[in-house]
Amino acid sequence: MDLLNTLVDKGLRRESPTREEALAVLATSDDDVLDVVAAAGKVRRHWFGRRVKLNYLVNLKSGLCPEDCSYCSQRLGSTSEILKYTWLKPDQAAAAATAGVAGGAKRVCLVASGRGPTDRDVDRVSKTIAAIKDQHQDVEICACLGLLSEGQAERLRDAGANAYNHNLNTSEATYGDITTTHTYADRVSTVQQAQAAGMSACSGLIAGMGESDEDLVDVVFSLRELDPDSVPVNFLIPIEGTPLSGDWNLTPQRCLRILAMVRFVCPDVEVRLAGGREIHLRTLQPLALNLANSIFLGDYLTTEGQAGKDDLAMIADAGFEVEGTDTTTLPEHRADALAAAAGGCGSHPGAAGGCGSHGAEAGGCGPCGGDTAPEAEAGAEAEAAAVAAREDSHADLVAVRRRGVGTDLPPNA
């Protein structure tokens, strides 16, 4: 179709589509989804070949968060039956990271629940980075610790952090419906602080929180303007004990269209297939590798992911290859720009990407309604029945993490 040809041409030139074109991608029918994937796949292969970057999450501190993010099982007031523990010691975190590196992970993402780190917390994380780098010199480290205070980004960079993650999650217009304890502007500021410090910025979104197509396009265009090096795309995991545990609003085809739209808007950026891929894409996960060039290996923060060996088999069976530590993830023009900002040479493989984190376990909210016409009521009843059917069909796919860090069981990698 003419739309897809236009978007491919623009993507190969690093030219942004219009908002109308981005909305049109989301509006395509299920009958056209393979054509959409094929078109966006051309853009993905142009900038990233058939490489897939593997990332591994280490949850340094789980639960007990004072923030009220509706999607998160670690939120204030959450009744989710998740593991809760305070800061891991550096050697514990390094041991956890080793499992991911052994599975082929090029990047280790260090995540801690909370509003943001204290200076003492930054010291803790700095020691953890040193412990990991001591064992795995070439591994990339991404920190995700919440909102940063003045000078903390520079301290993390000096400690060896290659990147910092902080997701925008949803559009500015709907952000207040998802979180009230901090603002959308707070998140933007933290990403900008990481960039100013010379770290690779990572910021993405969560789909499936009751947002409209316009909201999805808004947040992706905001991300393009912010210009992170990587954009993780999370799909809501409706965990029991969070405000929207019953929200099952996504289909595999819808997820593929969202990923394609992100690829067209951010053609030369590392697009990461992040939390929720297993339960929403299900058997269509391999198709998503034609859109995203990066995935998480194994488990997420508080939920279990697909077994690492199955991830590796999926990548190989789909005709892709795991990206090695001797390869720079980003296209040359982005890697050089990042290196210049960091004062480096541009060739080091550490100048890349980012991680998705809190968006890996998510919820969301839909609008509340008033009086409706009979036809609207009937439509609402049908939609409620469809949602209930999806919930009955897929709720058992959400497995709360019971292994790895914080337990006596081995991690999933």
Residues serving a catalytic function are 65, 69, 72, 109, 142, 202, 272
- CA–CA dist 305, 179 (Å, integer): 25
Quote the tokens at residue 63: 């639960």
Provide the strand spans (E) within 297-345: 321-322
Nearest by Cα to 242 from 165, 197, 301:
301
Within 8 A by CB and 6+ apart from 17, the residues are 6, 7, 10, 264, 265
The answer to whether residues 146 and 114 touch, using CB atoms and an 8 Å cutoff, is yes
Nearest to 60 by CA among 2, 12, 131, 149: 131
Of 198, 192, 213, 202, the C-alpha closest to 167 is 202
Q: How far apart are CA 131 and CA 78, in angstroms?
A: 32
**Other beta carbons less than 10 A from residue 279's beta carbon:** 22
Q: Rounded to whole angstroms, how far apart are CA atoms 43 and 339?
A: 24
Token pair for 188: 């933007």
Distance CA 125, CA 62 (A): 14
